[in-house]
Amino acid sequence: MKTRTPVIACCMVAAALSAGCAAVYKNTSACEQTMRQSASELSGRDTLKVTHAGSGIHGSRVVVEGTLEHPQTASEAAVAKPPNTNILEAGLLAPVVAAIAKSKPPTTAVPAAAECTYDANGQQSAFRWLAPARLAKDTTPDDGTHSDE
């Protein structure tokens, strides 16, 4: 019985079907790298942490979500910290609580998202920030289209 031909045919079909799937992951990774590069150029003091990357329409549109974190300024820390009303932390344990609090500087995290679009050849055709607003206004679409999403 000849089983070689059907096995080879099945392997060829599996390879052909899975070849198009790699573009989705490649585009997602490329968009994440573009987002990291743009974040370092536009706001060098912030650290980008990617939390989710999703692609749609066979990888032609990719959205990367994450947070931009930076150390709190004095004014941000004053607004963020409520007055201490716990009698134990405010009394005898105040030096211990202060030492623990100083061990790690507080950070401010701002949600961030970016969108990349790719053409039929897999080349990046557009990149724009969706959030935060200070970065989104710097990278408005060039074609003048407006989306009410």
Beta bridge partners of 127: 116
Q: What's the confidence (pLDDT) of residue 74?
A: 72
Q: What's the confidence (pLDDT) of residue 77?
A: 66
Phi-psi region of 121 (alpha: psi -120 to 50; beta: other; left: phi over 0): alpha
Q: Is residue 94 part of a domain?
A: no
Q: What's the confidence (pLDDT) of residue 18?
A: 60
pLDDT tens, the chain, 149 aa long: 577 787 787 777 776 666 555 556 788 999 999 999 999 998 878 899 999 999 887 889 999 999 999 887 777 766 766 665 666 556 667 777 677 766 667 788 899 999 999 998 889 999 999 999 988 886 555 554 544 44
Q: What's the confidence (pLDDT) of residue 91?
A: 67
Q: How many domains does the chain have?
A: 1
Q: What's the confidence (pLDDT) of residue 149?
A: 46
Is the pTM of the predicted complex or chain greater than 0.85?
A: no
Q: Is residue 95 part of a domain?
A: no
Q: Is residue 63 part of a domain?
A: yes
Q: Is residue 84 part of a domain?
A: no
Q: Which domain holds residue 132?
A: 22-72+106-136
Q: Which of 22, 13, 28 is nearest to 64 (CA)?
A: 28
CATH number of the domain at 123, please: 3.10.450
Q: What's the confidence (pLDDT) of residue 85?
A: 62
